[in-house]
Chain A
Amino acid sequence: MGDHRNLINITDLSAAEIDHLIEIADDIIADPVKYQDMCAHKKLATLFFEPSTRTRLSFTAAMMELGGNVLGFDQASSSSTSKGESVADTIVMASCYADIIAMRHPKEGAPFVGAQYASVPVINAGDGGHFHPTQTLTDLMTIHRKKGSLGGYTIGMCGDLKFGRTVHSLINALLRYDDIKYVMISPEELELPDYIKDTLDEAGVEWKEVRSLDEAIPELDILYMTRVQRERFFNEEDYIRLKDSFILRREMLDPAKEDLAILHPLPRVNEIAKDVDDDPRACYFYQALMGKYIRMALILYLLGLK
């Protein structure tokens, strides 16, 4: 319906469009006042069919900083969806009230369904274990700000590489940029799936797998941490045996580069020890801030205001 753009999968955006969004976000950071009324009288609907406090706060903050308003709901239980209203009906209704929609849903493909019925742009704010494109934009924006470029570094990805959608999506996005070396850090049980390894091979990039963080840390420019969940293991012994190799503690950073950037999509549980937070190389809260700016840029772009 309509000729508006949506963001369902990160690959919906070309590399040039991602560059453009990052440019807008840089400009917002440089001159926020210029943008503070750009979305005046515009409304963002946050339709969260499952709760995600961080993502919803980020979208809300982004719209408010653009001078716009936010309406919506959180959790299926507080909306009519628990009474069985379809995604299609909810989206058609929300299209009547809002100028743009951010939608999160536990079922995979739900925002794609939503976009087919919406008469305004739809942003996928996470659909189960499937896609979460604004997280990937956030990661790219953070890398750009910390490294000055989206290519030309060694990135380590650590933790659950098997089920971690943020890692898969980030890899797919990074493959568009040159001169990136990948170090995959995980237990054997949580290795990258074969189809992603195939993708890396086909792209002809340099990559390797290692079994501990200590082994990888000295050569990294970026370390992307993810959670290793207890329920991913068959038994408690395996979990206890392996988890320490994939938890980042302060002393492990001694051999790391001075300008290492440590990223994490948040929320973390215990995979990054508290004492790492004060290290200047910890960038995960900075990353959350970048998430707001890149969402501001995305809203402006999809509304045709930038």
Chain B
Amino acid sequence: MNIDGVNTGYVIDHIKAGTGLEIYNFLKLDKADCTVAIIQRVESTKYGYKDIIKIDGDIPIDCNTLGYMDENITVNRIKDRKLLEKIHLELPEVLTNVIRCRNPRCITSVEEGIEHRFRLADRETRKYRCVYCDTLHTDFQ
């Protein structure tokens, strides 16, 4: 893996090709006070093509939610030009304030100020269950 240009920060690797900008926006990297590069359509032995984001700055990254968006992503933490940690993302057990329940009879459709919370019901099929009304949600992407 090429970590050129990153002194201390992250290389977010194996992003599904074409979704790099989406991940960039989700991480609000336009607001980040550091150098950021999106590299699109990199040839990958594993996935055909992939996108990569390089961040030269030690900013907080929400790996939990990132795992929900794309569980195939790898987050490489870099310190002083060396690989510090390789984090393989996975679907999070609990999702808080990422998606909203689509059941119109759910209390979250009317009550303000409460967390929109889901628990992973089935990893294989990416099913999440609303903790309030127990409705199963799939296929968010």
Q: Do A and B come from one complex?
A: yes
Residues of A participating in the B interface, judged by any CB pair closer than 8 Å: 86-88, 105-110, 112-113, 127-130
Task: State whether B113 touches A109 (Cβ < 8 A).
Answer: no
Residues of A within 8 A of B134 (CB): 108-109, 130
A112 and chain B: residue at smallest CB distance: B132
In the complex, A225 Cα to B58 Cα: how many Å? 63
Per-residue CB contact flags for chain B residues 100-120 toward chain A (1 = under 8 Å, else 0) read 000101111111111000000
Chain B contacts of A113 at CB under 8 A?
A: 107, 111, 114, 132
* Chain A residues with CB under 8 A of B112: 86
Mark B52-73 against chain A: 1 for CB-CB distance below 8 A, else 0.
0000000000000000000000
Task: Decide yes or no whether B91 CB sits under 8 A from chain A.
Answer: no
Cβ–Cβ contact A108 & B105, under 8 A: yes
Residue numbers in A under 8 Å from B99 (CB-CB) = none
Number of A-B residue pairs with CB-CB distance less than 8 Å in the complex they form? 50
Given contacts A107-B105, A128-B105, A87 and B111 within 8 Å (CB-CB): yes
Question: In residues 120-141 of chain B, which contact A (Cβ within 8 Å)?
Answer: 130-135
- A108–B114 contact, CB under 8 A? no
Q: How far is the CA of A87 from the CA of B109 in the complex (A)?
A: 12
Of all chain A residues, which has the CB nearest B112? A86
B128 to chain A, nearest CB (A): 15
For the complex with contacts A88-B113, A106-B105, A113-B111, 15 further pairs of A-B residues with Cβ separation under 8 Å are A86-B113, A88-B114, A107-B105, A107-B106, A107-B107, A108-B132, A108-B133, A108-B135, A109-B107, A110-B107, A112-B132, A128-B105, A128-B133, A130-B133, A130-B134
Bound CA–CA A86/B106 (angstroms): 14
User: Which chain A residue shows the least CB distance to B110?
Assistant: A107
Smallest CB separation, B60 vs chain A (Å): 27
CB distance from A46 to the nearest CB of B (A): 19
B131 partner residues in chain A, CB cutoff 8 A: 109, 112
Docked Cα-Cα span, A128 to B105, in Å, equals 8
Are A129 and B113 touching (Cβ within 8 A)?
no
Complex Cα spacing A88 to B110, Å: 12
Within the complex, the shortest CB–CB distance from B111 to chain A, in Å, comes to 5
Q: Which residues of B contact A110 (CB under 8 A)?
A: 107, 111, 132
Residue in chain B with minimal CB distance to A81: B110
Interface centre among A88, A109, A110, A129 (most CB of B within 10 A): A109
Complex Cα distance, B109 from A127, in Å, reads 14
Residues of A within 8 A of B114 (CB): 88, 113
Identify the closest chain B residue to A127 (Cβ).
B107
